[in-house]
Amino acid sequence: MTCQTINEISLIAYFPFQLECWHARFSRVSSNPQFVHVTQTLNSTVKALIQSSMTSPVTMGKMMLHTVTFFINTSEWDFLLRSFVKLKSPFLDAAKMIAAYMTSNDPTVARQIVEGPCKRRNDGSLVREQTKQLLTRVQFLDMLRLIKEYRTISFLISFLGKMFGAAKNVVKMRKECDGQEMNKDIFIEHPDYWQSNFEKKGTDDEFCFNLPFLTECLDTVFKNALIVNPINAFWLRSYADFCYACDKFADALVLYMEACVACSDSLMRPLPDNVVDDTAS
C-alpha cells in the first residue's frame, strides 16, 4: 500500500467528521473569515472526493446526508445537479429537486418541479402520477435539521406551510360541523407556486398528509429559520401563525409582536400589508 493510498484512506475516514463539525458551526459563525476559509477548503475537498474514483458509492452513501446538505447550505446548485454521476441516494434526489427549483427563473417551471408529474382531475385538483417516496420520515427530518440556506428555508416554509394549511382545513371543517368556528391558516411568503387543491386519499375528507409529521417538520424548519435570521418578518409571521394553529398562544403572541417590530423599524414606521393583515391583527 503506497503512502498516497494511505493518505486517501485517512482523508475519507476523517471527512465525515469534518462535515459534521462544519454543520454544527455553520449557522453561528458562517461570516467569520476563518470559517469562510475552512468552508472554501472543505468545498474543494468534497468536490474532489466526489469526482475522484477513490470514493465508492458505498463509502459516499454513508455520508451523503452531510454532503448534500453541505452543498445546499453553500448554494452549490449546479454541482448538485450535474456532478453526482455515479452516486445514488434519496438525500441526493431530494437535494436535486431543491437545486432545480432554486435555479429555475420561471415560476411555472418551479411549480412543476415541486409538484412532480401530475394529472388534473375533473374537479380541477391535481393528482401525482408518481407515488414513490423519496425519503423516509426519519431521513427527511434529519435533512431538515441540517438545512440553513436562506432561500431553501423560505422554500420549505412555503411548501410545508401550504400542506400544513391543507391538512388543518380538514380539522377546521370538522370543528365547524361541531359548531366551533376556527381560522388557523398559516401565512406563507410564496403562495402562488403551490397548487390550490391537493390530492386526497381514501374518503373525501382525508388528505394524504400526516399532520403530526408536518408539524414536526415545520417546527424544525422554523427553529433553523430563526437561527439564520431572527428578524425576518415573513418568517416570524409564519411561525406565529403556526404556533397559533398549534394552540401555543403565548408563543404566537410573542412572535406576532416580534414580526411587527421587525417590519416597522421597531414600530417607527407603519406596518406593511404584506406582513401584517386582518388575520394577524
The parent domain of residue 65 ranges over: 1-21+61-115+133-147
* Exposure on the CB side of residue 203, measured as CA atoms within 13 A: 3
pLDDT at 271 over 60: yes
Please check whether residue 47 lies inside any domain of the structure.
Answer: no
Regarding whether 186 and 202 lie in a shared domain, the answer is yes
Predicted local confidence at residue 20, as pLDDT: 86
pLDDT category, 7, cuts 50, 70, 90? very low
**Structural domain total, the chain:** 2
Contact, 80 vs 68, CB < 8 A?
yes
Give the type of residue at 42: L
Predicted local confidence at residue 25, as pLDDT: 84
Regarding whether 84 and 206 lie in a shared domain, the answer is no
Q: How many residues does the chain have?
A: 281
Most confident of 103-112, 149-158, 165-174: 149-158
Regarding whether 69 and 1 lie in a shared domain, the answer is yes
Predicted local confidence at residue 110, as pLDDT: 64
Q: Which residues pair with 126 in a beta bridge?
A: 120
pLDDT at 148 over 90: yes
pLDDT at 82 over 60: yes
Helix, strand, or coil (residue 105)? coil
Q: Tell me the pLDDT tens digit for each residue of 20-72.
A: 889 888 876 667 888 888 899 989 988 887 776 545 555 565 688 999 999 99
Helix, strand counts (H, E) of the chain: 12, 2
Determine what percent of the chain is predicted with pLDDT higher than 70. Answer: 64
Q: Which residues pair with 200 in a beta bridge?
A: 207
How many whole angstroms separate alpha carbon 192 and alpha carbon 200?
20
Regarding whether 169 and 137 lie in a shared domain, the answer is no
Cell numbers 421587525: residue: 262
128: part of which helix (H) or strand (E)?
strand 126-128
How many whole angstroms separate alpha carbon 170 and alpha carbon 206?
7
> What would the mean pLDDT of 161-180 be, rounded to a whole number?
64
How many whole angstroms separate alpha carbon 33 and alpha carbon 122?
57
Regarding whether 241 and 225 lie in a shared domain, the answer is yes
Predicted local confidence at residue 3, as pLDDT: 46
How many whole angstroms separate alpha carbon 198 and alpha carbon 124?
10
Contact, 162 vs 191, CB < 8 A?
yes
How many whole angstroms separate alpha carbon 195 and alpha carbon 126?
8
Regarding whether 13 and 65 lie in a shared domain, the answer is yes
Q: Tell me the pLDDT tens digit for each residue of 189-225.
A: 777 666 555 555 544 444 567 889 999 999 999 999 9
Regarding whether 110 and 188 lie in a shared domain, the answer is no
